[in-house]
Amino acid sequence: MTTKSRATEVAGPHKSYGDHGDDGERAERGDRTMRHFTIHHDGVTIPVSRGGRGRPLVLCPGLNSTQADLHELTELLRRDHDVVTFDLRGHGLASATDRYSFKGFLSDLIAVFAELGRLDLPAAPVLVGYSLGADLAVHYASEHPGTVAELVLIDGANPVPEPFVTGALMSEFRAMWEELATQQEAVRGTARQVLLTAQEILDLNVEIDVVRSDILDRYRKIDRPINMITSSWMAGDSGEGHAPQLNQNWRAGVERLVREQPHIATFRLDADHRLVFTHAPEIARIIRSTQGMAGRADS
């Protein structure tokens, strides 16, 4: 795969990533410097942000989330990490493509790591992935041994016993994502936009179910420490409708994983799948406290 990057820097006051569209802005924050650059690969342009000081860390967003959405967690981690984050194709300030697939998103993560390999990092980075980003992290680490120090998986990469998008729930999920697509009109053209249609999101979730059906094989190929942060009720805390069934399926997947891979440390937060937005300080503390940790911590 051929990638090309572009990075320019301009001195100026700090703004969060979501406040500007110039990938060349540089911002001084005490002893930290923010840098923004783009990677061109596979016909798409991927915007990358890097800032902070300390241990290298790559933060991969998930489906329907952008690096601007993850701003709070990113800023917390930058206090003691050199954090790199980016937008997947069709998300945020990344360019769109004709077709979206797990393989395409994985190639975006691979391209980011290829660029980091040219930056002479002092150590292999911690790889943190949220939702789909967690699945991408597991696949990347299983295919590129030695390039990451450890994994932190946030409510994703779960070997659930049953698929989520089944015939009985198909129409409900489609309606949910159609509503999401409508809401996206309010942020169109900003760093928080998602360019995928409701049908594309539905198709991707069906594909992710298939990916997760074989993900245990991927875990077996990883020899790095793995920490998993999960929600207690990923589908919400309602006792009605399909939520209890979906939540039980999610918990069963985590239990299956730790039976198969008892060295994985798991942490459960009293939250739904939006935990990365609602519980960023707790997640940042877990990431700081568990680096290099082995064994299981279910809390």
d(CA 93, CA 25): 14
* Global confidence as pTM: 0.88
User: Does any domain span residue 280?
Assistant: yes
Nearest to 204 by CA among 43, 63, 60: 63
Handedness of CA 51, 54, 60, 61 (dihedral sign): negative
Quick one: 49 exposed, middle or buried, by C-beta within 10 A (0-12, 13-18, 19+)? buried
User: Does any domain span residue 294?
Assistant: no
Number of CB atoms found within 10 A of residue 199's CB: 12
Nearest to 81 by CA among 111, 112, 49: 49
User: Does any domain span residue 295?
Assistant: no
Ranges of the chain whose pLDDT falls below 50: 1-3, 6-31, 294-299
Q: Which helix (H) or strand (E) holds 87?
A: none
d(CA 295, CA 265): 5
User: Does any domain span residue 276?
Assistant: yes
CATH number of the domain to which 110 belongs: 3.40.50.1820
The confidence score (pLDDT) of residue 16 equals: 32
Residue-number span of the structural domain to which 83 is assigned: 4-289
- Helices 198-213, 132-143: axis angle to 10 degrees equals 50
What are 143-159's pLDDT values in tens digits?
Answer: 999 999 999 999 999 99
Show Cβ contacts of residue 183 under 8 Å, excluding neighbours closer than 6 positions: none
State the total domains in the chain.
1
User: Does any domain span residue 146?
Assistant: yes
User: Does any domain span residue 79?
Assistant: yes
User: Does any domain span residue 38?
Assistant: yes
Nearest to 261 by CA among 188, 146, 110, 158: 158
**In contact, 92 and 67? CB cutoff 8 Å:** yes
- Helices 102-116, 132-143: axis angle to 10 degrees equals 60
User: Does any domain span residue 245?
Assistant: yes
The confidence score (pLDDT) of residue 292 equals: 58
What are 18-56's pLDDT values in tens digits?
Answer: 333 333 333 334 445 889 999 999 999 999 999 999 999
